Structure 1
């Protein structure tokens, strides 16, 4: 679930996507890969997101209200809050998604072996980890790291896009506030950059899964294993895509039509109950679980079940419903008899006795060792207090573009308070990232006003 719950917490999602079984290369116009939102799917169901954090240049600043011409590059803007599991984090609505590289899907495969498939792009072509054959069409050749053909452009002004077309909006000049790499459009592909991959971040090659050959995208990393631009896919897809996938919420149709040899699957138009959210929070000595129903028809009650191992569940409590409702209803329950790790699920009991189970929620009891940052809204100073922690720690404060604006290295001791002057910072949101030598990590969002 990532290093940091930033900018949201992870909630269960309801996705439906479709992928062509027999992908076809685009012959003329190639579909633009969305800067924000889903562009593909990892094998474990985590969506792959685009090259930007959905903020772009407005003419005076970067914000979601920008024109979408100069788009903030996601690695620079959000890299410090992406986890080391899947290069991912949850957005504000709780949708966990990957921006950079899914380390855990290939880290146990030797670098002398061709990487496995980690996912699929919406044009149906596979996405592989970072290693492929030196000779693209020879499976007997050695294995090497696939290098991107993208590099930062040699520009001082932002008036021309990577395609060579004059932009309809001039971006900010390249300077210390907006250095090269701030925007995805600061990068361009060129064969002279010496990469192994084309402008779509892939190539035609043989792989263990496709011995006769296929087009394939590759995750891009540097020699140290760090994710590098464009991570998954370039500015465009190589193949023909199903554009119904390319929306903020994914597939919106109630029908998914498969190829001619298949059939058509119809989603039920009315389900007895739909849990739109199921999440929880540990409060130290107790857990509170929350669930929201989007549609509640013919439901008698909810049975909350708990387990210490995620296998053997016991009834914990019964919560009566609020009646037949088609509008959103919210429920919660506080469990005061918790363990180090407690598993929860909710059984929806219909009036005829039929039951259905939710997904499983896991809550871990917080350790007493903690740091806290306060106040989170300030105009001059923030304070960091420690409880049962003795460590040296780096304290870094980042602005919304991912630029480090304050950095300190201090000794943190039990009961101590460290104060940091933020009065010189401009009024905006900032992220305080604290990393202790004992492995303790904390991120907190503050508002300077």
Structure 2
């Protein structure tokens, strides 16, 4: 948590569904208070337009920057599962301070399996990660991954798509009634999606339905009350 003096309490149950049922879960009486020295430092360098493509079996990553800080570095990281990353290379920022530039990096390893790439922007006082870019030697299949479950006031997940397009996201209750539905622009690769206005939804089991190019993926999600 980045909130100073936030308090946490543990709830235990035998399954995610039981977490939402007060008769099937147990809540600890002890609370933990977190003290945070949050300086709210925001990186000066802004990363934008990150993309990638396969060229002769090699992964190529492209990105742009604005308002570069002197000495900024861009660290390329690679993963085969989208979770565990290893450093691939470091690119030194080459723009004059306060200006931006365009960058390109080619992975020196032949890409035989799907791989995730990200760019970590590192400055003197902090760092930040870019969105993920998925490159694959075979066709990427539409999928929904990394669903935050159970959730409280925020739902987050990643949409994996073979090309740029529009996905339809729908939240339904146990009776099939639509709680929320909207269109989400997605890019070829991985698009993170976050919904932060669900604090008023009652605790229980819901369905997250994501439709793309005529294909639907449905995930069961559980809302827990704070």
User: Normalization by structure 2: what TM-score?
Assistant: 0.39
Higher Rg of the two aligned structures: 1
User: Normalization by structure 1: what TM-score?
Assistant: 0.21
- Higher strand residue share: 2
Q: Which structure would you say has the larger RCO, counting Cα contacts within 8 Å and 6 or more residues apart?
A: 2
